Amino acid sequence: MAENRSLVSIESLSREKILSLIHRAEEFEKNPNSKILDGKIVATLFFEPSTRTRLSFETAANRLGAKVIGFADPKITSGTKGETLKDTIMMVQNYADVIVMRHYLEGAALYASEVANVPIINAGDGANQHPTQTMLDLYSIYKTQGTLDNLNVFLVGDLKYGRTVHSLIMALRHFNPTFHFIAPKELAMPDEYKTYCKEHGITYVEHEDFNEDIIAEADILYMTRVQRERFTDLMEYERVKDVYILKASMLSKARENMKILHPLPRVNEIAYDVDDVKHAYYFQQAQNGLYAREAIICDVLNL
Amino acid sequence: MNQELMVAAIENGTVIDHIPCNKLFEVISLLGLQAMTSTVMIGYNLASGKMGSKSLIKISDRFFSDEELNRLAVVAPNVNLSIIRNFEVVEKRQVEMPSPIVGVVKCANPKCITNNEPMRTRFDVSEKKEGVIRCHYCGREQLVDTVKLV
């Protein structure tokens, strides 16, 4: 059997692989439209709705000349009739050259990649992995800083449940980052990831405060949402909910090159007055997802 | 008197000794003894110098593969196995923890694909943390001492 080129988890990507995907994304940004995937069919199977991610993938496939099949709403699929994931994958692989899938169960993409004979791209499996989000984060960091090496990356908000920040730590382990973890106690970075940092020689600093002096050292300020439902103690939520909101007034000491990222959607964790500041980058970040996904689709197809 | 003689000797087969009493029924289930047609003798709450009390199983005319026996390591890593031929012990061995552990342990994460799809579970034994196994699919770690079997 040929090598399975699926992209299931960010951990499996080497430094070289990450950089080659970034360079590929740069090329696509210069020329987003091509016919590389002419005659190919990309299946997008969304067992859990995610309009943002699906549109990004489908745009990427369309811009590369592929045709797209699939479903956006799991209610209309036979999964609801009791069909197993394996059966759905076995059926779709008869039609498509690559399967992009989002699933509410953890490990679903890995399992699909084991049973399929076409590559699988994981577009999110529950709370587990979302590697294309991480690739677009990395591409955004690279584009704005000119490098991924030796950066001060500040992660803010829900660091306990935030899948994107965990994946970012793993991906950046190849690039000698310094992390600053800024979170309320209840949503602090889990020990598991702090141990991971120690094992990989990554320096990190923890803060509970979030203010302009702390931000001053940042190259990247990666914001995430502090969600009410994550708190067991609602008093604690009330106490911290406004502490981790970024306002334009907090950016007076920020480095010239500093950029603010956010996986979106945001609720109130970035005040609207930040949108017009030169450091704001979250909307371009989302656009970068298109180029990163074009690069990933081509890579798993070995094109 | 030899303790083992409290349970009759077998001519040919497998003896599994030093099973912790609270693990006996899991061992029975892991080896599928309930479906066996040959003679099976089970000693429960036997006195043991080493363990206080122990359980023991003698299975006539049945020899297990290494893979079958190593599954026992998940619930009872310290059992002693004896292979009997003509009433003589011809081989003694210990079980070894397999890695990966396939199709034995249930993942503790209800949102893991393995709990929602008819498929075999798979766990890797952690090299860094003793007694910890990690789900190959969802990454959830659990202590091998507290696992539930599939």
User: How does pLDDT run across B16-47, given as a tens digit for each residue?
Assistant: 999 999 999 999 999 999 999 999 999 999 99
Report which of residues B6 and A35 the model is more confident about.
Answer: A35
Chain B hits for A105, Cβ within 8 Å: 111-113, 116-117
Residue B127 confidence (pLDDT): 83
Residue A221 domain-assigned (yes or no): yes
Which pLDDT score is estimated for B103?
Answer: 92
3-class state of residue A195 by DSSP: helix
Are residues B77 and B25 part of one domain? yes
Number of domains in chain A: 2
Q: Cβ contacts (< 8 Å) between B140 and chain A: which residues?
A: 106
Is A110 in Cβ contact with B111 (below 8 Å)?
Answer: no
pLDDT digits (tens, 9 = 90+) for A1-46: 456 799 999 999 999 999 999 999 999 999 999 999 999 999 999 9
Q: Are both A125 and A137 inside the same structural domain? A: no
Q: Domain for residue A92, yes or no?
A: yes
Q: State percent of chain A over pLDDT 70.
A: 97
C-alpha span between B89 and A198 (Å, rounded): 50
Q: Is residue A155 part of a domain?
A: yes
Could you tell me if A197 lies within 8 Å of chain B, comparing CB atoms? Answer: no
Q: What is the pLDDT of residue A173?
A: 97
Q: A204: domain range?
A: 132-286
Choosing among B120, B138, B142, which should be mutated to test the A contact, i.e. which has the most A CBs within 10 A? B138
Name the active-site residue from A24, A63, A103, A130. A130
List A24, A102, A143, A279, catalytic entry: A102
Of B109, B113, B118, the CB nearest to A108: B113
Cis, bond preceding A265 (omega within 30 deg of 0): yes
Q: Does a structural domain hold residue B2?
A: no
Contact A111 B112 (CB under 8 A): no
Q: What's the rounded Cα separation, in Å, for the pair B6 and B17?
A: 13
Query: DSSP class of residue A246?
Result: B
Same domain, B69 and B15: yes
Q: Which residue of A has its CA nearest to B116?
A: A105
- Would you say A96 and A41 are in contact if contact means Cβ atoms under 8 Å apart? yes
Mention every residue, 6+ apart, whose C-beta is less than 8 A from residue A4.
A113, A119
Residue B65: phi, psi to the nearest 5? -75, 160
Residues B84 and B116 placed together within one structural domain of the fold = no
A108 Cα to chain B: minimum distance (Å) = 5
CATH number, domain with residue B22: 3.30.70.140
- Res. B9 pLDDT band, cuts 50 70 90: confident
Point out the residue among B109, B137, B139 whose CB comes nearest to the CB of A111: B137
Across A230-244, A271-285, B1-15, the highest mean pLDDT is recorded for A271-285
Q: Which residue has the tokens 């950046």?
A: A172
Give the mean model confidence (pLDDT) for residues B11-15.
95
pLDDT at B12 over 60: yes
Token digits of residue B49: 């110098």
A111 with A79, same domain: the answer is yes
The shortest C-alpha distance from A109 to chain B (Å) reads: 9
A174 labelled catalytic = no
Query: Which CATH number goes with the domain that contains A247?
Result: 3.40.50.1370
Backbone angles phi, psi at B62, to 5 degrees: -140, 130
Same domain, A166 and A97: no
Cα A284 from chain centre:
14
Structural domain including B36 reads 7-94
Query: Same structural domain for residues B120 and B70?
Result: no
| pLDDT tops 60 at residue A163 | yes
Closest CB from B116, B118, B135 relative to A105: B116
B117-133: average pLDDT: 91
A121 forms beta bridges with A7, A100
Tokens of A221: 């300020």
- Mutate which of B109, B111, B122, B132 to test chain A, going by most A C-beta atoms within 10 A? B111
Please give the sequence-ordered ranges of beta strands (E in DSSP) within B49-79, or none if there are none: 52-60
* A86 inside 8 A of chain B by CB: yes
Per the prediction, chain A carries an average pLDDT of: 93
Chain B nearest CA to A126, separation (Å): 8
The number of domains in chain B is: 2
Structure tokens at A292: 């990163």
Identify whether residues A115 and A147 lie together within a single domain: no
Residues of chain B in contact with residue A126, where contact means CB-CB under 8 angstroms, are 111, 138
| Residue B126 per-residue DSSP state | P
User: Are B89 and B121 in the same domain?
Assistant: no
pLDDT at B3 over 80: no
Chain-centre distance for alpha carbon B137:
24
pLDDT above 80: residue A77: no
Considering the domain architecture, whether residues A85 and A192 belong to the same structural domain is answered as no
Asked whether residue B145 carries a pLDDT value surpassing 80, the answer given is yes
Check whether residue A159 and residue A256 sit in a common domain: yes
A70-79, A110-119, A266-275, B2-11 — which is least confidently predicted? B2-11
| Residue entry with tokens 């000491």 | A253
The Cα–Cα gap between A296 and B84 comes to 58
Structure tokens at A250: 């907090």
> ipTM score of the complex?
0.88
What is the chain A residue with the closest CA to B128?
A199
Q: Compute the average pLDDT of residues A59-81.
A: 86
Express each pLDDT in B61-115 by its tens digit: 999 998 888 889 888 988 999 999 999 999 999 988 888 999 999 999 999 999 9
Report pLDDT for A2. Answer: 52
- Average of per-residue pLDDT values in chain B: 90
Q: Final residue of a domain: which of B72, B94, B116?
A: B94
Helices A108-115 and A85-92 cross at an angle (nearest 10°) of 50
pLDDT score of A226:
84
Q: Which residue has the higher pLDDT, A124 or A232?
A: A124
**Per-residue pLDDT, A1:** 43
CA atoms of A151 and B123, how far apart (whole Å): 36
Is A130 designated active site?
A: yes
Mean pLDDT over A156-173 rounds to: 93
Band (pLDDT 50/70/90 cuts) for residue A80 is low
Residues A136 and A121 in one domain: no
**Judgement on whether residues B56 and B125 belong to the same structural domain of the protein:** no
A271 vs A227: which has the higher pLDDT: A271
Shared domain for B18 and B75, answered yes or no, is yes
Same domain, A164 and A280: yes
Q: Does B111 touch chain A (CB under 8 A)?
A: yes
Per-residue pLDDT reduced to its tens digit, A221-263 = 999 988 887 778 888 888 888 889 999 999 999 999 999 999 9
To the query of whether residue A59 is one of the catalytic residues in this protein, the response is no
